[in-house]
Amino acid sequence: METNAAKSLVNAPVVLRLLPTAAAQLEIGAMMQMGADRIMFATDYPFEEIPDACIWFDNLQISEPDKKKIARDTAIDLFKLDL
């Protein structure tokens, strides 16, 4: 029997730290199996430069709708922002 807590974990966003390396593209492919609606873009400031992380994200080989979900839509939904 599945509990409410278990159900909420199934749909919870996943936080993974990706380094801007060639291997990261492989990790993105694996993550996309979970769905872009469960992934959020973030930086590790002050340990990495925000502009560098944004350039890296912009150059990922994923669809524009998935980038939009990862870059903003998932956070808007999670935090129930009124934008």
Catalytic residues: 44
Q: Is 59 helix (H, G, I), strand (E, B) or coil?
A: coil
Length of the chain: 83
Measured CA to CA, the distance from residue 38 to residue 8 in angstroms comes to: 12
Return d(Cα 56, Cα 50) in angstroms, integer.
10
